[in-house]
Chains A and B, each alone.
Chain A
Amino acid sequence: MGTPVIEGWFTQDPEPGLIGSSCDACGTVFFPSGLSFCRNPQCEGTSFAPVTLSRRGRVWSYTDAQYQPPAPYVPARDPYEPFAIAAVELAEGLVVLGQVAEGYGVVDLAVGAEVELVIETLYVDDSGDRTIWRWRPVSSSTATNGDNQ
């Protein structure tokens, strides 16, 4: 497995997950972590504990990139191959962006469908594979039509 493209945002365990932080005072979860102050207006908390966010969530919405995005996007292949992107709602009550796992496109997705986090290679640079989290459809729910939302 390669090196995370961004340090401290996700684990690469056999069961990988996003690393959020939980405010010690009010319990609000934040992602990405790294805050030194709580954003809850009722809370003046300044200390946080790391939390691994739910690995599974439900698709809030989704799309794809049929044209190569501009820099600082780094294309993984030449010629460019389109990829899908999903915004996924986790049990903690937040929505997190991510590309959709290799081999899946918008036809495999629906609002409300279940997806799970996987780690894949985003691009390759001098240090080797640079990895990122992606959302992979959970097969049993990909046939739903979003009416469970």
Chain B
Amino acid sequence: MNPNDIAVLGVGMHPWGKWGRNFAEYGLHAARAALADAGVAWSQIDFVVGGETVRNGYAGYVAGSTFAQALGWNGARVATAYAACATGAQALEVARTRILAGLSEVALVVGADTTPKGFLAPNAGERWDDPDWLRFRLFGATNPAYFAFYARRRMDLYGATVEDFARVKVKNAAHGLTNPNARYRSSVTIEDVLASPVVCDPLHLLDICATSDGAAAVVVASAEFAKRMGADHPVRVSGLSTVTPTFPNTVLDMPNIATDAANAVSAPELTFKASIGRAAYEEAGVDPADVSVAEVYDLSTALELDWMEDLRLCGPGEAEQLLRDGETTIGGRIPINPSGGLACFGEAVPAQALAQVCELTWQLRGQAEGRQVEGARVGITANQGLFGHGSSVILTR
């Protein structure tokens, strides 16, 4: 292991769905699964980090201590992380930092959520200084509207078609068909996608991910602890990026009403999303050409194509061709979202970035039954959330 690597000893999930139960139950289930997978007793965990969401009615309650209490107070240190869709990765970063500092040996990171139906909407109350409230009041700009902006740019700039976007859904549906943790496990055709109602032109209902209940947990440890546990060849976290944008950020990000202006300072060389990936690659000492598999945030089908380019898995405007050639399907050159992605899961915000890490861990161990990317050695995740948050995790073995 490299000096800045930590070991992933165990991963676990609660299946995604619309179960209507308390998030703590899901988190507990995922945590126990990860502990069992690691062969680590709860009493050995010296640090617990929980992912928080402010989105879905549990502000301040989805916390590390909730999971620690559910597992039974064991006197471990505790922390809670919030970074919108990147929450799980930031929670993992908190654990990694303490482990690499030598202050903790083995940590449990948990994210869980219970979600309402329909469009994600801002919290109640009149908040005239909150862009996340104003974008609904002034413009009726929902999350899918922002996804549609990015999709439309691919069409008008690169010649992407609605059939291309549908192909992403078809591929991810096929990938997730036998994934026991996926919520949607049925085949989808291009015709199915195009026959579903248009929500925000050009995106159809089946182009847009749902919101789900679910939980994911990861047990991470120092190299020394892993060795003592007999894990000689563990999956490792080799790079983890949670960078902010660089001023001026001239790409319109949800939920903003306007971007920064580039009139006095020129826009940076890389967009925010591209800079998230670059920081992870630099930290891991990995080149995009080394990547065997990627789990990226397909909030919409078209966003998967954006991420392929932002992570430099192909050049700008080339993602559609790779998709059409089957290169992003399992068995192709660079399989994307072998888990089935958000297309098959729906988003459980504070759990989702950890779910990506769970999937890549199974892939790198060769345990992704029914969806295995053969010989996977390097995996990368990516996501972006509200308010300048985003993350990318590079796992190696």
Question: How many Å lie between the Cα of A87 and that of B252 in the bound state?
Answer: 8
Residues of A within 8 A of B198 (CB): 66
- Mask of B128-167 contacts with A, CB within 8 angstroms, 1/0: 1000011111111110010011111100110000000000
Tell whether A69 pairs with B261 under 8 Å between CB atoms, given A93-B248, A97-B139: no
Shortest C-beta distance, A40 to chain B (Å), equals 6
Q: How far is the CA of A36 from the CA of B197 in the complex (A)?
A: 45
Min CB distance A9 to B, Å, is 9
- List residues of chain B with CB within 8 A of the CB of A66: 197-201
- Whether A92 touches B257, Cβ cut-off 8 Å, given contacts A66-B201, A72-B122, is no
* Proximity bits, B251-277, A CB within 8 Å = 1, else 0: 110001111111111010000000000
A-B contact count (CB 8 A): 147
B136 touches A94 (CB 8 A): no
Once the chains bind, are B200 and A73 in contact (CB under 8 Å)? no
Interfacial chain A residues near B140, Cβ < 8 Å: 65, 68-69, 73, 83, 85, 99
Q: How far is the CB of A79 from chain B (nearest CB, A)?
A: 15
- Which single residue of chain B is at the shortest CB-CB distance from A105? B201
- B-side interface size class: 35 or more
Structural contact, B258 and A6, CB atoms closer than 8 A = no
> B133's contact among A32, A72, A87, A92, by CB below 8 Å, is which?
A72
**A-side interface residues toward B, CB under 8 Å?**
5-6, 23, 26-32, 39-42, 60-74, 83, 85, 87, 92-99, 106, 110-112, 122, 132, 145-146, 149
Give 6 A-B contacts (CB < 8 Å), ordered by A residue: A40-B247, A60-B252, A97-B139, A97-B252, A99-B139, A111-B156
- Beyond contacts A28-B264, A64-B200, A65-B142: 18 other A-B pairs, Cβ-Cβ < 8 A, are A6-B134, A28-B263, A30-B261, A61-B149, A61-B152, A61-B153, A62-B152, A65-B145, A70-B121, A87-B149, A93-B248, A94-B261, A95-B259, A97-B141, A97-B252, A111-B153, A122-B138, A146-B156
Q: Which 5 A-B residue pairs are closest in the complex by CB-CB distance?
A: A93-B262, A63-B148, A146-B156, A111-B156, A94-B261
